[in-house]
Amino acid sequence: MKFSERIGITKAKDTIQLDYIDVDLRNGLWNAFQIYYLDRIEHSQLNQSSYQTFFKNLWHNFFKLPLYTLNNWTAKTKTQLREWFFNWEWFEIYDFIEFISKTESPTNNEKFKLFCNNVLEKEISGYRFINGLIAPITSEPEINEIDTAIENAGNKNLTGVKTHLESALRKLSDRDSPDYRNSIKESISAIESIAKVISNNRKDSLRGALNKIKGKINLHPSLERGFKQIYGYTSDADGIRHALTEESTCDFEDAKYMLVSSSAFVNYLIIKANKAGIDI
């Protein structure tokens, strides 16, 4: 991670690409198209290439252009596509990538989609190929939940909570070496931190802190049990945490889920504490 990124204020809305595509992501998706399609055209003229039907389909069904505008010279068609691609809006790029992944051609579409998903994950896109369609794996409300929790913790001077949430987000969004395992740990640590503040006992475990604060903040027993079931495995040495946080099984979706849900819990506890008149 660059020095400027390490010292900056981390925000989910600036990190998870939901309604925009940055230069790195745009370049990565273009490279996927080039590697799996353009570089495989075996002739300088499209009408002598095995990709002729693919490009006619593209011109007719995606661009809705007359076929006479499709240049038969492969090099010129590549240049035209490149100019369009690098001027499209973010959603137009996803439209294009999804369309070609479903269009018959000599390319192995499954390998193309897998390559694209690797790019999307590395560049922290909010979308993935799922069942053949580009679908969101996160949403604006989820992103806002994370940013609100970090902001609330800062406003309340909950330094530990803020530090853990920011660390979880940084580890999740590190493009060079994402650390999903420790991102999950940081998310859980944020919950433990605020629960201990409300219980007024720094030595409490998360389970112990929840037991103490449920009466203070009017935490419904069913909701309490739900939270313990969600987070309990992270504190049990022989529980799910051990399996979930192994390097080979922990991925972006696991870490993102824990960060979003932990942020929501932080926001919830802050509101409940305020209503109960607890100074935090």
What pLDDT, on the 0 to 100 scale, is given for residue 237? 43
Is a pLDDT exceeding 70 seen at residue 28? yes
Would you mind telling me the total number of residues written for the chain in this entry?
280
Q: Which amino acid is at 60?
A: H
Name the least confident of 4-8, 63-67, 107-111, 196-200. Answer: 4-8
Is a pLDDT exceeding 90 seen at residue 263? yes
3-class SS string, 203-237? CCCHHHHHHHHHHHCCCCHHHHHHHHHHHHCCCCC
In the predicted model, what is the mean pLDDT of the chain? 87
State the pTM of this model: 0.75
Specify whether the backbone of 136 is left (phi greater than 0), alpha (psi in -120 to 50) or beta.
beta
Here the tokens at position 238 are 């022989």
Is a pLDDT exceeding 50 seen at residue 121? yes
Q: Nearest Cα to 33, choosing from 104, 110, 115, 127?
A: 115
Q: Nearest Cα to 22, choosing from 92, 123, 143?
A: 123
What pLDDT, on the 0 to 100 scale, is given for residue 238? 43
Partners of residue 128 on adjacent β-strands: 135
When pLDDT is cut at 50, 70 and 90, the band that residue 9 belongs to is low
Q: Distance between CA 14 and CA 237 in Å, rounded?
A: 35
When pLDDT is cut at 50, 70 and 90, the band that residue 234 belongs to is low
Mean pLDDT (whole number) for 175-184: 86
Write out pLDDT tens, residues 30-51.
999 999 999 999 999 999 999 9
Q: Where are the alpha helices (DSSP H) in 123-205?
A: 140-155, 159-173, 180-199
When pLDDT is cut at 50, 70 and 90, the band that residue 4 belongs to is very low
Do the Cβ atoms of 260 and 146 come closer than 8 Å? Answer: yes
What pLDDT, on the 0 to 100 scale, is given for residue 231? 66
The upper half-sphere exposure of residue 106, i.e. CA atoms within 13 Å in the direction of its Cβ, equals: 14
* Among 1-10, 127-136, 230-239, the range of highest mean pLDDT: 127-136
- Tell the residue number behind the tokens 């935490």, with chain if given: 219
What pLDDT, on the 0 to 100 scale, is given for residue 214? 82
Mean pLDDT (whole number) for 211-222: 81
Count of helices and strands (H, E) across the chain: 14, 2
Do the Cβ atoms of 28 and 79 come closer than 8 Å? Answer: no
The radius of gyration computed from the CA coordinates of the chain, to the nearest angstrom, equals 24
When pLDDT is cut at 50, 70 and 90, the band that residue 145 belongs to is very high
Is a pLDDT exceeding 60 seen at residue 243? no
Mean pLDDT (whole number) for 172-181: 85
Mean pLDDT (whole number) for 140-154: 91
Cα angle: 60, vertex 66, 71; to 5 degrees: 95
Mean pLDDT (whole number) for 111-115: 96
Write out pLDDT tens, residues 54-100.
999 999 999 999 999 999 999 999 999 999 999 999 999 999 999 99
Q: What is the DSSP letter of 45?
A: B
Write out pLDDT tens, residues 151-171.
999 888 899 999 999 999 989
